[in-house]
Amino acid sequence: AFHPAPHAKQEASPPSAVASARERFALAATLEPTDPDHAAELYEALERDGGPWGWNALFARASLALSRGRRDETRVLLERYVREHPGGPNAEDARGLLDDL
């Protein structure tokens, strides 16, 4: 299950940038059922921005790939999440999903 980071904000970013990341993440999540390619693009852009929303976006993109039956892509993304964020809020879920693949 997806669990957003409890404090998904960047201290150095102005509040508008934080809201923007949150809004883009919410938009991507909303688009998953109807436009999964666009959702994946939004998640990937958030990943490039870094910070907690980037971590959440990486895990969300892996979950989206899994729901679309893209096992190889899922594995790559989950392995990256675990490698880059071993103590992240979704690390345990990522490891569990990897075990199930």
pLDDT, residue 17, reads 58
Residues ≥6 apart with Cβ < 8 Å to 82: 91, 94, 95, 98
Q: What is the pTM of this model?
A: 0.80
Q: Is 16 left (phi over 0), alpha (psi -120 to 50) or beta?
A: alpha
H-helix segments, the chain: 15-31, 36-49, 51-67, 71-84, 91-100
81 to 9, 58, 77, 99: CA distances (angstroms): 18, 7, 6, 14
pLDDT, residue 62, reads 98
CB 56: neighbour CB atoms within 10 A?
28
pLDDT tens track of the chain, all 101 residues? 555 554 444 444 455 555 589 999 999 999 999 999 999 999 999 999 988 899 999 999 999 999 999 999 999 999 999 999 999 999 999 999 999 99
